[in-house]
Chains A and B, each alone.
Chain A
Amino acid sequence: MRNVLAIARRELRSSFASPVAYVAVGLFALVFGYFFYATLVFFAERSLQATQFGMGGPMNVNQMMIRPLMLNVSVIVLFFLPMLTMRAFAEEKRSGTFELLLTRPLTDWQIVTGKFLGAMAMYSLMLLVSLVSILLLFLLGNPEWRQVATSYLGLLLMGGCFVALGLFFSSLTRSQLVAGVLTFSALLLLWVINWTADSAGPVMRAVVQALSITDHFDDFSRGVVDTRHLVYYLSFIGFGLFLTARAIDSERWKG
């Protein structure tokens, strides 16, 4: 455990030493802020119209504001996470520090979980920044804190899947760029794949829905924690990390 934490801490600190972290967090805050503002304006207009035309009082901030915002955020996250994971192994391999990690008394599993926790810490920071805007909502209206909490839990888990996938791709190459592009393409594919779900047959549809990471987020954004989704996310993360550990080991044998 000490080894895992040491690697995670080092990972986090080196993220902050590189401009990538600041760019990622800063841009994310900016994009999130924009979406927040846009959703807020949209919600305010609809709300105003509703009261003007007497369509039954002010609208529900949870359904009309938080949920669409969170669904948007889940997509924004997809665009940003490759930036946080692309360095992880690719850079260590390029600079030769990977040789240090692999010749110290560490298990592959410790290295992989250390990297995972490091990237997750960085991601949590990104989410924390966005949480500031959400707190504004609590000042202005009375959103349900439960729904906010489950949404963020969902974002954390979904991001965990993205991170696991990103680590896997980073472990395959010495180039950050290649790792980043591969991760981004894979995530994009897993996102757009559920667009085809509606037109597909029942079997295809089930497969597609199982693959689509973002699809499982929907319930979280509505304030529901369904164990099915929880298990899905946790096993996705576990499997991703397992594959990463295998990739490191097989690289060893190839030399």
Chain B
Amino acid sequence: MIDVQHLTKRYGRVTAVDDVSFRVEKGEILGFLGPNGAGKTTTMRVLTGYMPPTEGRALVAGHDILEAPLEAKRRTGYLPETPPLYPEMTVRDYLMFVATINGLASAERRRRVETAMERTRVADMASRHCGKLSKGYRQRVGLAQAILHNPDVLILDEPTAGLDPKQIHETRDLIKSLGGDHTVILSTHILPEVAQTCSRVVIINKGRVVAIDTPENLTARLRGAETMFVQVDSAGADATPVIAAVPGVTGVTIAARRDEQASYEVASERGHDIRRQLAAAIVTQGWGLLELRPLRMSLEEIFLQLTTEENAGGAEVPRA
């Protein structure tokens, strides 16, 4: 559905996007993740035909964005970083205008506008002036504008920015329901959002792609070893030798110690579940096993690790 090939965009001497390539299949929801200034907005602006790439090319819904811009744009809905509203127009008039320039037939327009307002829950603001809306409502009208003509491809630049928690939840549900018949690219800074809504993630830093994968794989690939968190009531004794003796354990560190209890982080070989033996070893010592859980690296940590890495270039995911 979307095919980006060696895309580079320079603003004068600043390279905002540097040789980015990726594909998005029909029905996928792709998350675009990266720190401020990474080049997310710039990539989206190229994909929507707002600005041409300096090098490389992009196909959207089967049409080259430079060679057949009208065809590509007709099949794309776009929510820019700042919702593009005309302050002096009412929400309904504004959506009617966007419906018209999207080429919808006049018989269809009203129905589509009403549907879009229902889906994004702005119907109660239909006759309010856009300039008098709160930030969250502006964002939602912007979203309504993007889905109005039922486009094949949706490009959403930080769709949940400025929304309250309830709205974030509803918007995510809306985006998830759009995936399936629509292809969605969304950018965000909120990591759990990516894990919850996206089928694949592109992590981008300083204009370069650092990683592309599913959220699950990304989490898994980054952990070279499995780590367990164990809390033991050993009546003051050091449990380290006992834990280290369990087959498969490669390292033990004391994470915290308080009174009779201590907690340990236990590293083990990958794909080797040590939980049963570990529990048995502790219990046979007569100690109390207070807690035992796998330590997973959160997407947050992965993100920080990938984007703060020196020479973050290259699509290869560094091992933890």
Interface of A toward B, CB cutoff 8 Å: 2-3, 6-7, 10, 13-14, 17-18, 95-107, 252-253, 255
Contacts and interface: CB of A to CB of B under 8 A. Distances in A.
Task: List the 5 closest A-B pairs by CB distance, nearest first.
Answer: A17-B88, A100-B84, A6-B100, A103-B48, A105-B74
Nearest to A106: B101
Contacts of A2: 100, 103
B254 interface: no
Contacts of B80: 96, 99-100, 103
Contacts of B11: 255
Interface residues on B, range: 20 to 34
Given A3-B101, A6-B100, A13 B89 contact: yes
Interface in B31-61: 45, 48-52
B137 interface: no
B102 A105 contact: yes
Most buried by B among A13, A18, A255: A255
A103 B73 contact: yes
A255 B16 CA distance: 11
Contact of A105 (B9, B73, B83, B87): B73
A104 B101 CA distance: 7
B303 interface: no
Contacts of B86: 10, 14, 95, 97
A105 to B, nearest CB: 4
B196 interface: no
A101 B50 CA distance: 9
Nearest to A7: B101
Contacts of B76: 103
Nearest to B74: A105
24 contacts: A2-B100, A2-B103, A3-B100, A10-B86, A18-B88, A95-B84, A95-B86, A96-B80, A96-B84, A99-B80, A99-B84, A100-B84, A102-B50, A103-B48, A103-B73, A103-B76, A103-B80, A104-B98, A105-B71, A105-B101, A106-B101, A253-B51, A253-B52, A255-B9
B101 A103 contact: no
Contacts of B97: 6, 10
Contacts of B85: 95, 97
B162 to A, nearest CB: 14
Contact of A100 (B52, B69, B70, B98): B98
A107 B80 CA distance: 19
B9 A100 contact: no
Interface string B265-307: 0000000000000000000000000000000000000000000
